[in-house]
Amino acid sequence: MNKWFELFLGLVLLVFAILVGWASDAYTWTIFGKDLNFLHSAWVFLKGAVFWFVVMVASLLIVLGVNDLRE
């Protein structure tokens, strides 16, 4: 693909995702009684990703420390 087209498409998708997140938070989007707040869902996902990243780094450091003690 053309590099300018890729850049433009990426910007359009980013703006679209931001607008959908904002609109789902600002207005009440419900389907079959379920709330569709994408901004809240993205925030929960980000917090979970940070938690698991810290857990994996801690596990890696423990394994490396045990490996150093073994030598």
36's tokens: 């569709």
Q: Which residue has the tokens 């994408």?
A: 38
CB-count burial class (<10 Å; 0-12, 13-18, 19+) for 2: exposed
Cα(28)–Cα(59) distance, rounded to whole angstroms?
41
**Tens-binned pLDDT, residue by residue, of the chain (71 aa):** 788 889 889 899 989 988 888 888 888 777 787 778 888 888 899 999 999 999 999 999 999 898 888 77
For the chain, domain boundaries: 3-70
Q: Which two tokens stand for residue 8?
A: 């433009």
Q: Which two tokens stand for residue 40?
A: 């809240």
